[in-house]
Amino acid sequence: MSAWPTEIRLAKDRRTLHVAFEDGAAYALPAELLRVESPSAEVQGHGPTQKKTVPGKAEVEIIGVEPVGHYAVKLTFDDMHDTGIFAWDYLRELGEHGEAKMQAYRDALAEQGLSRERVKRG
């Protein structure tokens, strides 16, 4: 079943993307989840064993939302990551399974000795 959105709206604080679908399902997707689960090759790699764990994105913001045809949006984040194309079905999947994906992300960070917090320099 294809998921068709009726609304895609970025919150004023740029940390949440609100997505509603024609069947009534609606999700508030955190920018951090969208960034660390970006469908880009930079994050997902070119196969299931190549997925990267991206640290330091707890405070990431979405600075751009652009439509891609009639099937997706391209998100630009304040760390300038902009290569992920988020298809409607993928946004729906993140809405339905976002908590589990965030827990798996937190677990992967802990395993690798990484943090959700941005590294302060200087």
- Residue 38: CB atoms within 10 A of its CB come to 22
pTM for this entry: 0.93
What pLDDT is attached to residue 2? 62
Q: What's the Cα-to-Cα distance from 90 to each of 29, 59, 85, 121, rounded to whole Å?
A: 12, 22, 9, 34
What pLDDT is attached to residue 121? 62
Q: What's the Cα-to-Cα distance from 42 to each of 20, 120, 122, rounded to whole Å?
A: 27, 23, 27
What pLDDT is attached to residue 55? 96
What pLDDT is attached to residue 120? 67
What pLDDT is attached to residue 87? 97
- Residue 29: CB atoms within 10 A of its CB come to 21
What pLDDT is attached to residue 115? 96
**Which positions of the chain have pLDDT values less than 50?**
1
